[in-house]
Chain A
Amino acid sequence: MTPDFATALAAVIRREIDGATGIAKLRALSGGAVQETWAFEAQTPAGPVPLVLRRARPALRRDRKSGVSIVEEAQLLRLAAASGVPVPPVRAVLRPADEAGDGFIMDFVTGETIARKILRDTEFAAIRPGLARQCGEILARIHAVDTEPLAFLDRVTPERFLTENFSLYDQSGHSSPVFELAFRWLRDHVPPPPARATLVHGDFRNGNLIIGAEGVRAVLDWEIAHLGDPMLDLGYICVTSWRFGEIDKPVGGFGERHELYAGYEAAGGRLDRARAAFWEVASTLRWGMNCLMMGRQFITGIDRSVERGAIGRRMSETEIDLLRLLAPRD
């Protein structure tokens, strides 16, 4: 089925890509809640050029309350690239007159994103030992991005994170003693706002990285990037759910914390272990809150899909991981 914007997209490609005559092989890659991703090829005399279209879901364009809009995401990718963060190069941003929707076009970066393959396939065995350090280096570069042109991003302090998530939990009507314990612990350990608010990726984890034979090729999923505490990203990548079964390797299931930290400091990052520990607990709870809220969508009938129901039932995995962090049994 050809989407309704295909003709308009082809016109954009003829304008933006040298020598392009049209497009081919347009196909949906994934459908996020707010954004959709399409892969296609630009046809040129030199051969096909693999590209990706990131596009806002039309129905949701006016509903956005928070998060990064699709046009802001393109800006963000360009700024991150300029700071040496591996991201897919942005080729063009759609204009309103293009009538192809809100979105932008970037290069198709080949590689693997499926976390379990990255952790288990032999073709990644040689690069796995270096990944944690490389993630630290990349995070230091993300946190060094000039924030001046990024005033459009949300600002999130540890306090605000806590208040907003607690309010969501409180209004959900669900009672989880383990979440109560975690909120209480976070309340007792919440750090002040960081000395310097930096760009924070917010979803930097195994599964959102394109990995190739030489390591990380691109950082994806910038939809919840914001200005805030850089230590969030260092805690987040250690959340047990994002270790995909390899729970003894805290960094993404592939590495050790000291490797992540060494890479971070070597690339100029300033480390605060206590803050990173706060954000590891906070991020475990946040994933649990996501499961809870998606489960609520199922319960209230907003989304009765099997997948929503199933994610609702992943709340308990975060409860066991919160207990392992806050009330270890040994």
Chain B
Amino acid sequence: MHDPPKPPDLLAAVACFLREELMPQLSGALAFHTRIAANVVDIARRELELGPRADAAEHQRLVALLAQRGDLAALNQELCRRIREGDMTLQTPGLAAHLWELTLAKVAVDQPGYASYQRERES
């Protein structure tokens, strides 16, 4: 067991430092890349916070959707194979719902400010 502070809190502090303290001192390419660095630190923080639960939910949905057991990566590959070969389509019960859940969970980590995500989350 590691001592606190916890990784997400440390990363939140790093992102805040990059944005609030460092960026105002910079201009041009360095300011641009510092903003990207802060965004990347936020992605890592959000994945630490939200990833485990999203992965578990994805795994549970895949087991039900595919009627098959296996680890998450193997089941996701099996889903890809079935879509590619036309064994599963948007008419397959549960597929569209799974793809939406999966994608919303990804964007929630990668880019929660993205306009399409904001719109879909409202609906």
Q: Name A residues whose Cβ lies closer than 8 Å to a Cβ of B.
A: 175-178, 180-181, 183-184, 240, 243, 245-247, 306-307, 309-310, 313-317, 319-321, 323-324, 326-327, 329-330
Contacts and interface: CB of A to CB of B under 8 A. Distances in A.
Given A181-B99, A319-B106, A306 B77 contact: no
A177 B102 contact: yes
* Ranked 4 nearest A-B pairs via Cβ: A316-B106, A180-B83, A313-B110, A247-B115
Interface-central residue, B33, B73, B115, B119, by most chain A CB under 10 Å: B115
Contacts of B98: 177
A223 B37 CA distance: 28
B84 A317 contact: no
B121 to A, nearest CB: 10
A247 B120 CA distance: 12
B84 A184 contact: yes
B40 interface: yes
Contact of A327 (B86, B99, B117): B99
B100 A323 contact: yes
14 contacts: A175-B73, A177-B99, A184-B84, A184-B86, A240-B115, A310-B43, A313-B43, A313-B111, A315-B110, A317-B116, A320-B107, A323-B100, A329-B120, A329-B123
B14 interface: no
A317 B111 contact: yes
B37 A306 contact: yes
B80 interface: yes
Contacts of B89: 184
Contacts of A245: 115
Contact of A316 (B37, B110, B119): B110
Nearest to B83: A180
B110 A317 contact: yes
Nearest to B77: A175
B31 interface: no
A247 B116 CA distance: 7
B26 interface: no
Contacts of A306: 33, 36-37, 40
B103 interface: yes
Contacts of A246: 115
B116 A240 contact: yes
A319 B101 CA distance: 12
Contact of B103 (A240, A309, A323, A330): A323
Contact of A177 (B83, B115, B117): B83
A320 B40 contact: no
Contacts of A240: 115-116
A115 to B, nearest CB: 13
Instruction: Choose among B84, B90, B117 the residue with the greatest number of A CB atoms under 10 Å from its CB.
Output: B84
B40 A309 contact: yes
A83 B17 CA distance: 52
Interface string B72-95: 010011011001101001100000
B36 A307 contact: yes
A304 to B, nearest CB: 12
A243 B89 CA distance: 29
A327 B89 CA distance: 11
B40 A310 contact: yes
A324 B116 contact: yes
B120 A310 contact: no
Given A177-B83, A324-B120, A307 B110 contact: no
B12 interface: no
B104 interface: yes
A319 B103 contact: yes
B90 A326 contact: yes
Interface in B13-35: 33
Contacts of A320: 103-104, 107, 114, 116-117, 120
A307 B114 CA distance: 18
Contacts of A326: 90
B110 A323 contact: no
B96 interface: yes
B96 A327 contact: yes
Given A175-B76, A316-B110, A327-B99, 15 more contacts: A175-B80, A177-B80, A178-B99, A183-B84, A245-B115, A246-B115, A310-B40, A316-B111, A317-B107, A317-B114, A319-B107, A320-B114, A320-B117, A327-B100, A329-B100
